Amino acid sequence: MVRLKTVKLLRESVVRWDEYPFNIPPIASLDALEITSRICFFVGENGTGKSTLMEAIAAHYGFGREGGSRNFSFETTPSLRSIDSLVRALRVGFTNRTGSGFYLRAESFFNVASYVDSVGGIDSYGGKSLHDQSHGESFISLLQHRFTRSGFYVMDEPEAALSPQRQLSFLVLLHDLLTNNDNIQFLIATHSPILLAYPDAQILSFDGGHVREIGYRESQPFQLVSRFVAAPERYINALFSDKSDSE
Ligand SMILES: Nc1ncnc2c1ncn2[C@@H]1O[C@H](COP(=O)(O)OP(=O)(O)OP(=O)(O)O)[C@@H](O)[C@H]1O
Ligand SMILES: [Mg+2]
């Protein structure tokens, strides 16, 4: 069974604390994380290190830097990110690493689509080039056709492609996959209050300078969006008047 269980920073292996990625507070203060659910979310403000840590975990599983599956060994940007030092300093515990899976980075989805075309793999993606589908359609097509096997699935902000309605469909798809296959796990970075609502998911927040587990209703996306939609005009007025006060 593939299962990510622990992520531990070996502090003695860190050489430069003043350089990326160890100058990011939640990475620098990382100790040992226990991953307790088959669906784990990373949440937190922009720039708090979610993608950085996710990429290092993905590298430990054997995914390429630009995403894709483990046998998608293409790299269009050498040294896309200088996270090698983090990969070396992390001890990542999987119960088993032999399964399949997919690593989906929003930035490199275009390259994944080109690669699928170039190796003639479109049959496993709905029989139509991912380039000839809209962003959201191609994303859902990838999920439906490729995210079916046992394995470890890593996704960075999947909501970027999805309308709110499709985010609900995505939750249903995740639920189907998780209930029909014990041997599947998802690690997802998100800002979406819809995706975060998945029941019994583990939510790890990167806010406040360190990584800690929080409840759904404590999460910033839930808190902010629920306050906003409760009274958008009032919220906007307050925002704009704060701004004009400071001008
Ligand atoms: N190659 C790099 N060299 C130096 N700094 C970098 C590099 N890549 C990212 N950073 C910085 O590291 C910090 C964390 O970036 P990261 O992409 O992990 O954040 P994130 O939590 O995923 O943010 P977002 O929610 O915007 O996706 C940011 O301040 C970013 O500017
Ligand atoms: Mg990110």
Q: Among 48, 83, 195, 211, name the best residue to mutate to test ligand 1's pocket (greatest count of ligand atoms within 8 A of Cβ).
A: 48
Taking only the tens of pLDDT, the chain with its 247 residues reads 678 999 999 999 998 999 999 999 999 999 999 999 999 999 999 999 999 999 999 999 998 877 777 776 555 555 555 789 999 999 999 997 777 888 888 766 666 667 666 666 666 566 677 677 777 777 777 777 777 788 999 999 989 888 999 999 999 999 999 999 889 999 999 999 999 999 999 999 999 999 999 999 999 999 999 999 999 999 999 999 976 665 5
Contact partners, residue 141, CB within 8 Å, separation at least 6: 125, 126, 128, 130, 133
Q: Which is the closest atom of ligand 1 to the Cα of 21? A: 12
Q: Which residues fall within 8 angstroms of residue 130, CB to CB, at 6 or more apart?
A: 112, 113, 116, 117, 122, 138, 141, 142
Q: What CATH number should be reported for the domain whose range is 4-217?
A: 3.40.50.300
pTM of the model: 0.91
Q: What span, in angstroms and rounded, lies between the C-alpha atoms of 175 and 173?
A: 5
For the Cβ of 50 lying below 6 angstroms from any atom of ligand 1, the answer is yes
